Structure 1
Amino acid sequence: MLTDNIHFHWARLENLSGSQFHAIMLARQTVFIGEQRFCCPDADDHDLHSWHLTALHEGKLAAYLRVVDPGEKYPEPAIGRVLTTQAYRRTGLGKHIMQVAIDKLAELYPGESIRISAQSHLQTFYENFGFTVVGAEYWEEGVPHIEMLYTPPV
């Protein structure tokens, strides 16, 4: 399987090298601006207050997400900017990186919920991890979104 030799790496922005941050931003721009046609800047101040999780295959960025610190965007930690690069789609890597993030958040913030702002068409994907919709659908950058919350099992 393509994802057998995936290496996950957690880092704060200040601990990423210039080339690591460049690879992350290139992937985010390719997916969100190039492929999905979002017209707003992808980089924002939340990057400064986040853990950045990369999935590398043979040194290349295959998937990415960030975890925004609790109290920065929402009261809970927030997973966002979830992406799998084109070459690694439909390999299960998106599910894998989400599970790595959920597991890490259980260590960092035991018992805390996790909030996401998900593209509506991905609702079932996130529900499979235990996220539930909390609120009405809204539009962001021309794409319908929903807020979802994961509450860890007791």
Structure 2
Amino acid sequence: MTITISKTQDIQACLDLRMTVFVEEQNVPLEDEIDDLDPVATHFLATDESGESVGTARIYEVGEIGKIGRVCVVKSQRGTGLGARLIADCLTELRQRPHLKQAKLGAQTHALGFYEKFGFQGIGEEYLDGGIPHQDMVLAL
């Protein structure tokens, strides 16, 4: 199956995926999932050959830091490398913005090893986000 990842203006498709993965599957409170960053973020959407949305991620800037967040993949595509492709595309986009010096994300602690494969390093203490343990991670761009 061919999966295509592209930048999108279809924020609703991204929100629908996040509702499925974060709110329904992981029980993240709806009020923690929706924020005021979606209108200003750059969104990536992965679709299969039938046009079905199967993964998403977003990036936004805070000063010289490019933040990656809301990375999710539908159950049927987990373990296929799609999550890694989404992160790689986010990093490619951030590296094309020369004023950015660092990428940062809040990783669910069970996924720390996944992000370490990209060179991210954990910083700070573990914290709860949406009721799920997280740790911030950074990577020089």
Q: TM-score, normalised by structure 2?
A: 0.91
Q: Distance in 2 between matches of 1:45 and 1:21?
A: 12
Q: Which residue of 2 aligns with 1:55?
A: 46
Q: Distance in 2 between matches of 1:104 and 1:148?
A: 18
Q: Number of aligned residue pairs: give it.
A: 139
Q: Which residue of 2 aligns with 1:43?
A: 34
How many Å apart are 1:55 and its aligned residue?
A: 1.1
Task: Return the match for 1:67 from 32, 36, 59.
Answer: 59
State the secondary structure of the residue aligned to 2:128.
strand
- Higher mean alpha-carbon deviation, 40-49 vs 121-130, is at 40-49
Contact 1:51 1:66 in 2 (8 A): yes
RMSD after superposition:
1.5
Q: Any runs of at least 4 consecutive aligned residues in structure 1 with deviations exceeding 4 A, and if so which? A: none
Q: Which residue of 2 aligns with 1:29?
A: 19
State the secondary structure of the residue aligned to 1:91.
coil
Contact 2:65 2:100 in 1 (8 A): no
Paired amino acid for 1:51: T
Query: Structure 1 109/55 Cα, relative in aligned 2: closer, same or farther at 3 Å?
Result: farther
Contact 1:138 1:145 in 2 (8 A): yes
Query: Structure 1 109/85 Cα, relative in aligned 2: closer, same or farther at 3 Å?
Result: farther
The structure with more strand, counted as a fraction of residues = 2
Q: Which residue of 2 aligns with 1:127?
A: 116
Contact 1:49 1:69 in 2 (8 A): no
Q: Any gaps of 5 or more consecutive residues in structure 2?
A: none
Contact 1:132 1:148 in 2 (8 A): yes
State the secondary structure of the residue aligned to 2:76.
helix
Q: Which residue of 2 aligns with 1:6?
A: 3
Q: Distance in 1 between matches of 2:130 and 2:86?
A: 25
Q: Distance in 1 between matches of 2:56 and 2:140?
A: 22
Q: Any gaps of 5 or more consecutive residues in structure 1?
A: none
